[in-house]
Each structure stands twice: as C-alpha cells, then as structure tokens.
Amino acid sequence: MSDTTPPGMQPHPGFSEEERDAVYRAIFTRRDVRSEFLPDPVPDEVLARVLTAAHHAPSVGFMQPWDFLVIRSPAVKARVQALYRQANEEAAQLFEGEKQATYRNLKLEGIVEAPVNLCITCDRRRHGPVVVGRTHIETMDIFSSVCAVQNLWLAARAEGLGVGWVSIFHQDALRDTLGIPRDILPIAYLCMGYVSQFHARPELEKAGWLSRLPLEELLHFDGWGGAAGEADGALLGALGKVGVNPEDDRRSTPGRR
Ligand SMILES: Cc1cc2c(cc1C)N(C[C@H](O)[C@H](O)[C@H](O)COP(=O)(O)O)c1[nH]c(=O)[nH]c(=O)c1N2
C-alpha cells in the first residue's frame, strides 16, 4: 500500500471500521466533568499526548495562537476557585425563583479536585497583524484556540480522562491570578483528571436544564430556512439511524479501560 505513496503524503486516507468507531466513541462519550474526579495523578506521558493533540489542532493561517498553562499547585487552584465562587454568586443572581434554586444546585467546576488544571490562551498578535484566512474575520484566532480545546478534550476522553471547562470568571481576574499578560486572551480554563465514571448524557440535560436539540430542526438546505427537498430525504432518514450514546444512564461508560 505504502509503495505507491508519493513522498510527503500519508499512506492511506481511510480508517479501518474499528478506528473510525473509536473516533466516534470518543466524540459521543466525551462529557463535561465536574464531580467525578479521582485524585490519581495524570502520568506525564499521558499529559504530553493530550497537549500534543491540542497543539495539532487546525488554526487560521497555521497561526497556532495558543499557549498552555499547566496548573498543578493546590495554592494556585485555590485562588482560581475563589475567583469562580465570586463570579458564580453573581451568575446565580441572574436567574430568578426556581431557576435560581436549580442553578445553585448545579456543580459547575472541579478546580480543586482535578489533579491538573489547564488554561488555554490565544495570542491575538502572534505572527503579526496580517494572517492568512483572518484578513476579514478577526475572531478566527479565537476559534482556532477553541479547536485546540476540543482536540484536547477528545484526546483526554480516549485516555479515560475527564475534562471540565469552567468559564464562570471575570477574565481580567483570571489573567491577573495566572500572571497572563494583558494582550493574551484566556480562552478556556479546564479541569482534568481520571474519573470514577462518565455520565451517559450531559449533566445539564440530566438536571432538566436543557436537552439536546433535534438535529433535523437545525438543518437548512441551500440557504437559511431552506426546507428539505426530495434529494435530502435519505439524509434525514439516515440521521435517525446514527447510533450515538446509550440514553440509559445506568450504562455510563467506565473512566478507565
Ligand atoms: C465554551 C464553553 C464553556 C463552558 C462549557 C462548555 C463550553 C463549550 N461547559 C460545559 C457545558 O455545560 C457542556 O459542554 C454541555 O452542558 C454539554 O455537556 P457535555 O459536554 O456533552 O457533557 C461548562 N460547564 C460547567 O460546568 N461550567 C462552565 O463554566 C462551563 N463553561
């Protein structure tokens, strides 16, 4: 197979069925984790793999605008958690009545329990003001850093590691606490570690906050609001057959394989 591969090209574009299924399994079983972290340390080889996966994300103009802060110090984590608590109190006030009570019952971070915290940033000036692909939409650098977050999140899931994204912070306060320069944007604060188990469905869905929207209702054909034509019927039929994730919570996937 590789005999005919031209230099600089990959030997074969396809995945075996098993490899393909493993990718989808990582996607469909990835969860935002807040409560199930175990204290077990994350081996450096594993951390190196998920960070390298993040660094191999796509980026506008190959800008690679990210940096990765690896936070393991309990003192730093405690300071970050204090920022979260203050912001979360402000957040709770934004909801009224029963919704506020439900909000207050949600656990929305695992900063101290997770053995590793990561902050992924975006250097908006990396490689100068003109970047291929970012000439008209300036926020493309931010989107690129988010791609790194997603790569890391999926790689972590494949490693049996849970990741929780915490975004309830004043951005400047987070910057100051972590010594991040003013011109660098903190994109994601992530809590990561091995977990006792992964929830089968998003926790916000389990808590009755919101549920997954039907994908069919989010599809538009040949323009915004475009209805499905005859040619689109097979796609709509196929959507219903995609095996995703057991809806049954009892079948939550074990953290370690
Ligand atoms: C940009 C961004 C920001 C946040 C999140 C996600 C993303 C993409 N999520 C996680 C979010 O609640 C979760 O992804 C959804 O509820 C769907 O659940 P699963 O990720 O499928 O488990 C999240 N979760 C949380 O507990 N505290 C938070 O501050 C945030 N912030």
Please report, for the domain that includes residue 231, its CATH number. 3.40.109.10
In a domain, 13, yes or no: no
- The 8-class DSSP code of residue 221 comes to S
In a domain, 212, yes or no: yes
Mean pLDDT of the chain, nearest integer:
93
Judge if the beta carbon of residue 34 lies within 6 A of ligand 1.
Answer: yes
Domain count, the chain: 1
Question: Where in the sequence is the domain holding 76, given as residue range(s)?
Answer: 30-236+246-251
Ligand 1, residue 108: give the atom nearest the CA: 26
Residue-level pLDDT at 246: 53
Q: What b-and-e string marks burial along 76-97, b requiring 16 or more CB atoms within 10 Å of the CB?
A: bbebbbebbeebbeeeeeeeee
Residue-level pLDDT at 12: 85
Average pLDDT (208-230) is 95
Residue-level pLDDT at 248: 39
Entry pTM: 0.94
In a domain, 8, yes or no: no
- Alpha-carbon distance 83 to 62, whole Å? 33
Cβ contact 151:163 at 8 Å = no
Q: What b-and-e string marks burial along 105-116, b requiring 16 or more CB atoms within 10 Å of the CB?
A: eeebbbbebbbb
Judge if the beta carbon of residue 134 lies within 6 A of ligand 1.
Answer: no
Amino acid at 228: A
End-to-end CA distance of the chain: 32
SS3 188: strand
Average pLDDT (37-49) is 98
**Residue 183, pLDDT above cutoff 50:** yes
**Residue 253, pLDDT above cutoff 70:** no
Judge if the beta carbon of residue 108 lies within 6 A of ligand 1.
Answer: yes
pLDDT band at 252 (very low <50, low <70, confident <90, very high): very low
Give 8-37 pLDDT, tens digit per residue. 999 888 999 999 999 999 999 999 999 999
Distance between Cα 239 and ligand 1 center (Å): 24
ipTM: 0.99
